């Protein structure tokens, strides 16, 4: 049963300087199964962030359609869109926590939006912070937390309303390898324990390799390859796929 | 030394009470006008940000209209606006002289300024944080009062210090049309009666008041900004945690 599906998804941005429209996404057709961990990889500028933003309509597609649980996103009225977004969590490369709120109050935010009582919201927020191992930091402000800690708080916030899907936009790109592993472990645990479908956007193949089931490779606004991670790693077909699978840097200095 | 003392030849036993009354009048005018300016200017500033093309709820024609009105009001020199508004002042207050009457032109001159200050503070809020708020299913209204305003609070406080000190200086200018307060004293004694020593004292006072307001505003803004690591551990408005509050 696919929980997310895009059909001929297209997104163009009007280019201010050159006068020509730039097509960032062209005829994207992907479908994501409930409960899987799906990766989307591409170089910078390939369109991955735009793609994930089209999924929860932070960007409105210029053409094509996005289906969440079988329902077309573009058919939703504004109120319906806001409600639907409460079933989708999202975390970001720069964490995007509310800086004037404590960790606890940050995690409480989605519950406030959904109209929970303060007591229930606080209780749930504490529970979530414990889950991501940040229980002792509940009264801390983001400025007092490290990058990895902030991302954990962001994850707690994103899964607060028990979403069906968790979108991760380059969530580990600003973190060192060890912290990255910690965050990915947490995401994996959330996927296994709660069955939340995870969509991971990244430019690092090691991330895809670590926890993804299937992956779509994006290059220059199109999907150039798609399939199970293990088979693509073993035998990449596309040029882009091949370039991702081989090692990144070979020394140029003597 | 004799010259110095003789400079203050007009200071007598009436001077201090008069200066005191003038100070109270100035403070009253300034704070009342500032309050009213924010009552009008804060929502106006929010509207300017929210209805802009890249805002939370774009209404471009409204944005252009509001911007146009604000720009016009801001480009009229204050003294001219003061005089142009005299009939309106008379209609509302019944007179054009005195402290109450000054509030009308001061309000009209400063609420557009406040709106621009508020706009500048709100625009600075991290776009990514607003995006995160959208992704959690917030409505535009929720974004305004749960994200935009709280996240911009330290900047808004700083803006308020700028606004109040500016309004203070405007209030001094209104002394020209008999507005009351320290400016009025400065003009009546210093300009019309050539008693420069009195004027000198009022200027010193105005400078001191501005310094105090600026210092308070700055301290308060910094103290409430949780983005500053040193502040984050210090409780509401940076005034420190109550001794009985736990860790």
Q: Rounded CA gap, B111 and B41, in Å?
A: 5
Q: Is A97 on the interface with B (CB under 8 A)?
A: yes
Alpha helix segments (H runs only) across B76-126: 78-84, 86-93, 99-123
Chain B residues with CB-CB distance to A158 below 8 A = 136
Compute the average pLDDT of residues B92-119.
90
Residue B31: inside a domain, yes or no?
A: yes
- Mean pLDDT value across residues B235-245: 50
pLDDT at B240 over 80: no
Q: What is the largest CA-CA distance in chain B?
A: 75
Say what the pLDDT of residue B22 is: 87
- A166-209, pLDDT tens digit by residue? 999 999 999 999 999 999 999 999 999 999 999 999 999 999 99
B79 has a pLDDT exceeding 60 = yes
Asked whether residue B58 is domain-assigned, the answer is yes
DSSP H helical segments within B8-59, as ranges?
Answer: 15-50
Distance, in Å, from the CA atom of A118 to the CA atom of A135, rounded to the nearest integer, reads: 18
A94–B151 C-beta distance less than 8 A = no
CA–CA dist B107, B102 (Å, integer): 9
Residue B244 lies in a domain: no
Of residues A152 and A47, more confidence is placed in: A152
CATH of the domain at B19: 1.10.3720.10
Residue A115 distance to chain B (closest CA, Å): 11
Give the chain B residue whose CA is nearest to the CA of A91.
B132
In a domain, residue B232? The reply is: no
Out of B131, B142, B147, name the one closest to residue A58 (CB). Answer: B131
Of residues B137, B147, B229, nearest to A143 (C-beta): B229
Distance of alpha carbon B80 from alpha carbon A122, whole angstroms = 55
**Is pLDDT of B243 > 70?**
no
Compare CB distances from B153 to A83, A89, A100 and report the shortest one's residue: A100
Question: Chain A interface, mutation test: which of B124, B135, B231, most A Cβ atoms within 10 Å?
Answer: B135
Confidence of residue B234 (pLDDT cuts 50, 70, 90): low
Instruction: Please write the tens of the pLDDT for every residue from B140-178.
Output: 999 999 999 999 999 999 999 999 999 998 888 887 777
Q: pLDDT digits over A211-227, tens only? A: 999 999 999 889 999 99
- Looking at every residue in chain B, the average pLDDT score rounds to 87
Residue A253: per-residue pLDDT:
82
Q: Does B230 touch chain A (CB under 8 A)?
A: no
- Total domains in chain B come to 1
> Which of A86, A92, A97, A99 best probes binding to B when mutated, by most B CB atoms within 10 angstroms?
A99
Reported pTM? 0.89
- C-alpha to C-alpha distance for A199 and A177, rounded to whole angstroms: 20
Q: Where are the beta strands (DSSP E) in chain A?
A: 2-14, 21-28, 31-33, 37-42, 63-68, 71-72, 88-92, 165-169, 197-202, 214-219, 222-228
**Structural contact between residues A152 and A134, judged by C-beta atoms closer than 8 angstroms:** yes
Confidence grade of residue B82 (pLDDT, cut at 50, 70, 90): confident
Rounded Cα gap, residues B93 and A107, in angstroms: 51
User: Can you give the pLDDT at residue A135?
Assistant: 93
CB contact under 8 A, B132 and A96: yes
Quick one: pLDDT at residue A44? Answer: 83
Please state which of the ranges A75-84, B109-118, B121-130, B185-194 shows the lowest mean pLDDT: B185-194
Chain A: residue nearest B227 by CA?
A: A143
Which residues 210-229 in chain B show a CB within 8 A of chain A? 225-229
Instruction: Print the domain residue range for B192.
Output: 2-131+139-217
Separation in Å, CA B191 to CA B21, B176, B177, B200, B202: 19, 10, 13, 11, 12
Pick the closest to residue B159 from B42, B80, B59 (CA basis).
B42
- Model confidence at A147, in pLDDT bands (50, 70, 90)? very high
Whether residue B9 is contained in a domain is answered as yes
d(CA B179, CA B20): 16
* B242 within some domain: no
Any long-range contacts for A67-72 (C-beta under 8 Å, 24+ apart)? A67/A4, A67/A5, A67/A6, A67/A7, A68/A3, A68/A4, A68/A165, A69/A3, A69/A164
Q: Read off the pLDDT of each residue in B125-135 and give the average, rounded to a whole number.
A: 96
The two counts, helices (H) then strands (E), for chain B are: 12, 0
Residue B230 lies inside a defined structural domain of this protein: no
B237 touches chain A (CB under 8 A): no
Size of interface A-B (CB pairs under 8 A): 82
pLDDT number for residue B246: 43
Nearest in space to A145 (alpha carbons), one of A89, A92, A90, A97: A97
**Mean of the pLDDT values across residues B79-105?**
86
| Band (B245; pLDDT cuts 50, 70, 90) | very low
Whether A41 and A242 have beta carbons less than 8 Å apart is answered as no
Residues from chain B contacting residue A96 (CB–CB below 8 Å): 126, 128-129, 131-132
What ipTM is given for this predicted complex?
A: 0.93
Report if residue B235 sits inside a domain: no
User: pLDDT tens, A19-43?
Assistant: 778 899 999 999 999 999 999 999 8
Contacts of A144 (CB under 8 A, 6+ apart): A137, B229, B232, B233
Predicted confidence at residue B235, as pLDDT, reads 54
A110 to B136: CB separation less than 8 angstroms, yes or no: yes
User: How much is the pLDDT for B237?
Assistant: 53
Using pLDDT thresholds of 50, 70 and 90, give the confidence band for residue B239: low
pLDDT at A58 over 80: yes
Compute the nearest-CA separation of A242 from chain B (Å): 33
pLDDT digit string, tens, across residues A72-126: 999 999 999 999 999 999 999 999 999 999 999 999 999 999 999 999 999 999 9
Distance from CA of residue A138 to its chain's centroid?
24
Provide, as residue numbers in chain B, all residues whose Cβ is less than 8 Å from the Cβ of A139.
Answer: 247
Write out the H or E segment, with its range, that includes residue A148: helix A147-158
CB contact under 8 A, A94 and B128: yes
């Amino acid at each position: 049963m696919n929980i997310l599906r895009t059909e001929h998804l297209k997104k163009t941005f009007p280019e201010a300087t050159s006068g020509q429209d730039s097509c960032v996404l062209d005829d994207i057709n992907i479908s994501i199964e409930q409960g899987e961990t799906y990766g989307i990889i591409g170089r910078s500028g390939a369109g991955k962030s735009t793609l994930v933003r089209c999924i929860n309509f932070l960007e409105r597609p210029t053409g094509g359609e996005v289906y969440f649980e079988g329902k077309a996103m573009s058919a939703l009225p504004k109120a319906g869109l806001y409600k639907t977004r409460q079933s989708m969590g999202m975390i970001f490369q720069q964490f995007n926590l509310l800086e004037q709120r404590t960790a606890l109050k940050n995690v409480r935010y989605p519950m406030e939006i959904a109209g929970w009582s303060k007591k229930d919201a606080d209780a749930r927020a504490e529970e979530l912070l414990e889950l991501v191992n940040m229980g002792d930091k509940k009264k801390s402000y983001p400025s007092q937390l490290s990058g990895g800690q902030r991302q954990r708080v962001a994850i707690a916030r994103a899964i607060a309303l028990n979403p069906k899907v968790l979108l991760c936009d380059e969530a580990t790109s600003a973190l060192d390898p060890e912290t990255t592993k910690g965050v990915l472990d947490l995401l994996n645990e959330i996927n296994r324990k709660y069955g939340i479908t995870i969509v991971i956007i990244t430019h690092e193949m090691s991330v895809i390799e670590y926890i993804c089931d299937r992956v779509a490779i994006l290059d220059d606004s199109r999907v150039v390859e798609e399939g199970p991670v293990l088979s693509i790693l073993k035998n990449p077909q596309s040029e882009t796929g091949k370039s991702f699978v081989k090692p990144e840097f070979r020394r140029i200095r003597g | 030394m004799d010259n110095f003392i003789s400079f203050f030849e007009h200071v007598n036993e009436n001077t201090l009470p008069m200066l005191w009354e003038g100070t109270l009048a100035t403070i009253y005018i300034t704070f009342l006008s500032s309050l009213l300016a924010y009552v009008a200017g804060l929502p106006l500033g929010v509207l300017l940000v929210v209805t802009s093309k890249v805002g939370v709820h774009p209404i471009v024609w409204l944005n252009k209209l509001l911007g146009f009105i604000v720009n016009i009001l801001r480009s009229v020199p204050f003294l001219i606006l003061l005089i142009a508004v005299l009939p309106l002042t008379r209609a509302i207050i019944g007179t054009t002289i005195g402290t109450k009457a000054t509030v009308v032109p001061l309000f009209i001159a400063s609420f557009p300024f406040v709106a621009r200050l508020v706009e500048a503070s709100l625009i600075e809020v991290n776009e990514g944080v607003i995006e995160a708020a959208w992704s959690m299913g917030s409505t535009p209204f929720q974004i305004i009062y749960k994200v935009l305003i709280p996240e911009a609070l330290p900047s808004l406080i700083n803006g308020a210090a700028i606004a109040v000190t500016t309004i203070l200086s405007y209030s001094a200018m209104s002394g020209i049309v008999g507005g009351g307060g320290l400016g009025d004293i400065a003009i009546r004694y210093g300009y019309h009666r050539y008693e420069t020593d009195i004027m000198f004292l009022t200027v010193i006072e105005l400078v001191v008041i501005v310094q105090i307001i600026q210092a308070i505003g700055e301290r308060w803004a910094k103290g409430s900004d949780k983005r500053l690591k040193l502040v984050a551990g210090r409780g509401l408005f940076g005034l420190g945690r109550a001794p009985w509050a736990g860790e």
